A and B are shown apart, each in its own frame.
Chain A
Amino acid sequence: MSLTEAQAEVVPAGVEPSGRQIQGRSPWRLAFARLRRDRLAMVSLTVIVLMVLFALSAPLWAHWTGHSFHKTYPKTGLDESGQPAGPNGEFWLGADSIGRDVLVRAVYGARVSLMVGLAATALATVFGVVTGVLSGFLGGWVDTVLARFMDIVLSFPYVLIAIVIATTFGASVPMTIIVIAFFSFAAMARVVRGQVLSLREKEFIEAARSLGAGSLRIMAVDVLPNLVAPVTVLASLLVPQAIVFESTLSFLGAGVDPSTPSWGSMLSEAQDYYRTAWWFLFVPAGLLLVTTFAFNILGDGVRDAFDPRTERLIHKGRRHK
């Protein structure tokens, strides 16, 4: 039986002296309840949901503005000397350096940035968990090989290697996701490995083994469920890192194809114009800042919710009031 199941069962369905029945609550329900009380985390979650809705509504924005994200409008988006048009009735958040609509590109860029962030995190989480569990649980030469591999990946000058990989195999959304996942999975794997090293010595694992369970079954049924909390926390913090990583690669020209809008590629294009067309830089930079900040705060909230012993200063401050 897994620790989760054991914990669920040892929570007694007692009766208070008053006679009211006390409801048993799983660690998940307890964590969620704590998270709901964290106002900052809830605001962050709302921002993220709004950003996802913003990204999902991209075709609507294109329809409302009448501008497609890849289409150039040099006649109205650029003046005679090639300077981008500022925010106006046609371009609500201004135009970029070749006369494309900054708002429409930003909203489609949200799709790319969020998709890359979430997909790369999912990929890194899957590989990180598999690698970490195999390494920690099987031990021996498997652990030696996998742990050293993680060390090697963690010691890479990752931006440099990522640029080499992206430029060798071509810049594209899938390639960017793979590159980011590759350089993110090792951190996840190391944490998981550490957890598994501790778990495998627990009595319930010994009990499962003595009942004849094989390694694969133990890993899947007994170990994995106990990793959900740390993996969730780490994954929530990986998302903003992946978004910033994508922006960095795109900024350096090694991310997505420059005609594909992403916040990073928009920032890269805007760098020559920040003195003359503030909107060009401000819009993608603002969205990137708000989104990564929201993910980070939410990640902190999730961590606190799963581990109530961790106190954030901001919480302390609030309680002392």
Chain B
Amino acid sequence: MAGKDNGAKLIAGMGVLSLALAACGGGGGDGGGSGDEGGAPKKGGILKIVGSSDPDHVDTASSYSTVGQALSRNYARPLFGTKSSNKFDEAVPLQPDAAEALPTKENGGISGDGKTYTIKVRSGIMWNTQPAREVTAADFVRGYKRLCNPASPSGAQPYWRTTIDGMDEYCAAFAKVDAKSAKAIADYQNKHEVRGLLAKDDRTLVIKLKQPASDLLNILAMQFGSAAPKEYDNYIPDSPEFRKHTISDGPYQITSYTPNKSFVLGRNPAWKAETDPMRPAYIDGIQLTLGQDSPDAVQQQLEQGTADLAWDHPVPTSAIPRLKRDKDPGFAIRSAPSSNPYLVFNTLSPNNNGALKKKEVRQAIEYAIDKSALVKIYGGPDVSEPLGQVIPPGNVGYVKYDAYPTPNSAGDPAKCKQMLAAAGYPNGLKLKFPYRVSSNHPKVAQSIKDNLAGCGITADISPDNNGNFYGTSLVTPANAKEGKWDIAAPGWQPDWYGNNGRSIIQPLFEGRSYGPNSTNYGGYNNPEVDKLIDQALQAPDQNAAAEAWHKADQLIMQDAAVVPFMNQNFTIYHSKRVKNAQFIPTLQAYDFTKLWLAS
């Protein structure tokens, strides 16, 4: 998903991943505290988080950023989840959340042909409605149906549409419904069924698949898979009205929200600890203060104890050597393999006479970027390493290669210039380049601008905030088609680790599902890649799938749809009073529901 700093990978074998992670931080941490402090858990206190801007969306159907999902995890529960842990290997396996148990063939949860899943919803999980009402299997069906709503559709739709029987047809017709009418949206949702989704009774959900999908539970474990109460039918998804009326089945509820200024979460009185095996919920609430773009200003607050955690900033690069030298217990480099950031081309842009539609032009730019400089901007080799392919190490389909190698990954502007001239642009190009104002992104933008200048390309950089960047600028097809941007540097964090073959290539490069809120930001479309995605998803085993993913990776890099920059771990810091800080790699955040605050 789009990361806070940002970033996705497939495993060529968990052994490879474990080795890679062990190498970069002793099983998850480096340069500081483990966050595993002992002592008895303490209840109470308000966790203070500070950061730059709003998440992309508040609605779990559409929120596709690490910060958005780290927030929604407190008030929205999917059927399954992963344990937060500073030991990466412990943070990968699935465990039941709102479901009673993980379905298996042995316990009858998965049919013999692997195409039918029967899942029991845990009893006693309550919505914070008046009066409190139990969460049912129908609420999960509603949650899944809402992913295709026409107002704020989910970027993760392809996962559901390519696995669940009937979901594709349902979504195709849903897209034609009036997006400005909450009633029209609710009517379609309530009057049309998805063949493969059935709430057999209040607690039994039956899911039928098009074909076996060994990663279905991983898909359902994303925040997109959260239940949705019937009250949500009253609002246009993720509309301002919706944001004022979120309903919680988690330990916390949003009690106050001022856009781009603050979120306040308090305890959900309807939540019962015995119904939630994943969230001990020691703290009483969360105060999230936004509007602080300077990573250093945020870092100072954390070190002084006036705030506890950073929202959308990693530790500033300037502070890393000092924190490592001082062995500051609040500092750690956590393992979260990602492609973050990377350069995406708007392949639909009409600017420069449609230059970016030409593969040869994009291939030339592949040689322009000094990746070694970008690695330094993020803190050097302790934090990141140059990347020359779509799938980063430690993920299914990863085979080390560099499609466009340059000496020391420092770029080759002369080659870029020569290739650009050969492609018909001897006088260079002028590219629109929106960048995020938070974290290291302004530095990345300026570094890339300088690299492109060496190739004769003028980059017109323009500031954007994180929420707007992921929530509007890059995910609105009209913006891409009108050429409002040419290049951008988003990030991608795998939606899950482990059996994650489809969590990079499919969301980022599947051309047939391109549309509003798609994370295939540049509208890249190659039917051959789509075929390889199908081939990988239907592969009889993980090795065959890995081969197909790798072929897709090579094809995408031949087409130069993106310029991968680096595989990055995540630098993180917590204040002294935060205890038991456990990391969630896919969200690049500590688990707010598991930590406690010392006096």
Contacts and interface: CB of A to CB of B under 8 A. Distances in A.
Interface string B366-402: 0000101101111111100000000000000000000
A70 B453 CA distance: 9
Interface stretch (B199-207, B269-277, B294-302, B531-539): B294-302
The listed residue with most B CB atoms (<10 A of its CB), out of A81, A167, A259, A275, is A81
Contact of B322 (A79, A82, A275): A275
Given A71-B450, A272-B316, A272-B318, A80 B380 contact: yes
A109 to B, nearest CB: 14
Contact of A74 (B316, B317, B376): B376
A162 to B, nearest CB: 15
B307 interface: no
A35 B17 CA distance: 75
A255 B151 CA distance: 35
Contacts of B372: 74-75
A99 B373 contact: yes
Interface in A225-276: 253, 257-259, 269, 271-273, 275-276
A257 B437 CA distance: 12
Interface in A49-92: 70-72, 74-75, 78-83
Given A80-B381, A82-B377, A82-B378, A98 B443 contact: yes
Nearest to A84: B318
- Label chain B's interface by main secondary structure: helix
Interface string A22-57: 000000000000000000000000000000000000
A274 B451 CA distance: 26
The listed residue with most B CB atoms (<10 A of its CB), out of A79, A82, A97, A271, is A82
A140 B445 CA distance: 54
Question: Is the interface on chain B under 10, 10 to 19, 20 to 34, or 35 or more residues?
Answer: 35 or more
A170 interface: yes
A271 B462 CA distance: 21
A98 B376 CA distance: 8
A171 interface: yes
A277 interface: yes
B294 A271 contact: yes
A321 to B, nearest CB: 46
Given A78-B376, A97-B443, A271 B449 contact: no
Nearest to A81: B380
B297 A271 contact: yes
Contacts of B410: 74-75
A78 B294 CA distance: 21
A259 B445 CA distance: 9
Interface in B445-479: 445-447, 449-451, 453, 461-463
A259 B318 contact: no
B108 interface: no
Nearest to B443: A98
Contacts of A99: 373, 376
B99 interface: no
Contacts of B373: 72, 74, 78, 98-99
Given A82-B377, A259-B461, A276 B318 contact: yes
A82 B376 contact: yes
B377 A253 contact: no
A72 B447 contact: yes
A74 B380 CA distance: 11
B265 interface: no
Contact of A272 (B294, B380, B449): B294
Contacts of B462: 170-171
B447 A81 contact: no
A171 B463 contact: yes
A247 to B, nearest CB: 16
Contacts of B379: 81-82
Question: Is the interface on chain A under 10, 10 to 19, 20 to 34, or 35 or more residues?
Answer: 20 to 34
B578 to A, nearest CB: 22
B297 A253 contact: no
Interface string A145-173: 00000000000000000000001001100
A259 B462 CA distance: 11
The listed residue with most B CB atoms (<10 A of its CB), out of A70, A258, A271, is A258
A272 B322 CA distance: 13
Contact of A277 (B294, B318, B445): B318
Contacts of A98: 373, 377, 443, 446-447, 450
B168 interface: no
A79 to B, nearest CB: 8
A193 B373 CA distance: 56
A81 B321 contact: yes
Contacts of A97: 317-318, 377, 443
A253 B380 contact: no
B374 to A, nearest CB: 9
B23 to A, nearest CB: 17
B171 interface: no
A39 to B, nearest CB: 42
Contacts of B451: 72
A95 B158 CA distance: 46
A196 B106 CA distance: 95
Contact of A257 (B296, B321, B461): B461
Nearest to B462: A170
B571 to A, nearest CB: 11
Given A75-B410, A253-B293, A271-B296, A83 B318 contact: yes
B442 interface: yes
B321 to A, nearest CB: 5
B108 to A, nearest CB: 54
Interface string B498-519: 0000000000000000000000
Contact of B295 (A71, A258, A272): A272
A132 to B, nearest CB: 36
Interface in B313-346: 316-322
Contacts of B447: 72, 74, 98
11 contacts: A80-B381, A81-B380, A82-B380, A83-B318, A83-B321, A97-B317, A98-B446, A258-B461, A271-B294, A272-B296, A273-B318
The 5 residue pairs across chains A and B that have the minimum distance between CB atoms = A74-B373, A272-B296, A82-B376, A81-B380, A273-B318
